[in-house]
């Protein structure tokens, strides 16, 4: 198992962290990861991360849910077991569609929400009973940690991070 060096810079304020990220990116250093106790607005943009495509998957999953609802209701209520409920004829799907709209809506939302959660967990590799990959337990409470790969420039990087307001800077081995 190969190990590489990374620097963990710890901050106690999210505004200081944001300005530090901008300074580190301006100096063309690659930030591996940032661990925060809560979402920090604008951090993804400051790090230069690509926008998420979860909205596209949500739309696709909603269409799948709508399709399942239409096919299911057509089969159950029109083809398999048509019933005269409240005087409504069951001869065609179109004639009964106003009664089916709530079911179509609910299955669209159900499929979209549940499949989005499953996709998010699989994409971010957060499945049940997975051990935490958090390098410092303080980042679950009130500290922010910036992890930067070291490529023979530890002294320069440590000096830059000290200037950005890091309260603690640690050089550690990270196993791949």
Write the pLDDT tens digit of every residue in 2-51: 458 899 999 999 999 999 999 999 988 889 999 999 999 999 899 988 88
What is the tens place of the pLDDT at every residue in 78-105?
A: 888 877 777 766 777 888 888 889 999 9
What are 47's strand-pairing partners?
Answer: none
pTM of this structure: 0.70
Fold classification of 3-37+142-175 (topology level): Alpha-Beta Plaits (3.30.70)
- Domain range annotation of the chain: 3-37+142-175, 54-123
Buried b / exposed e over 90-116, threshold 16 CB at 10 Å, is eeeeeebeeebeeebeebbeebbeebb
| Alpha carbon 127 to its chain's center | 13
Q: Mean of the pLDDT values across residues 136-145?
A: 90
Q: From CA 6, how far away is CA 170, in angstroms rounded?
A: 8
How confident is the prediction for the chain on average, in pLDDT?
Answer: 88
């Amino acid at each position: 198992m190969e190990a590489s060096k990374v620097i963990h810079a710890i901050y106690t304020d999210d505004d200081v962290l944001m300005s530090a990220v901008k300074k580190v990116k301006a100096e063309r250093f690659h930030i591996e990861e940032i661990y925060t106790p809560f979402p920090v607005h604008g951090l993804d943009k400051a790090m230069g991360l690509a926008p998420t495509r979860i909205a596209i998957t949500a739309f696709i999953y909603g269409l799948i849910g709508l399709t399942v609802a239409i096919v299911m209701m057509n089969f159950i209520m029109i083809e398999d077991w048509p019933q005269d409920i409240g005087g409504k004829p069951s001869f065609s799907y179109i004639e009964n569609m106003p009664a089916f709209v709530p079911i179509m809506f609910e299955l669209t939302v159900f499929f979209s929400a549940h499949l989005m959660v499953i996709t998010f967990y699989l994409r971010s590799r957060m499945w049940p009973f997975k051990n935490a990959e958090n390098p410092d337990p303080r980042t679950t409470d009130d500290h922010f940690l910036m992890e930067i790969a070291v490529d023979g420039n530890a002294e320069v990087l440590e000096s830059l991070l000290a200037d950005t307001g890091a309260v603690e800077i640690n050089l550690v081995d990270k196993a791949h």
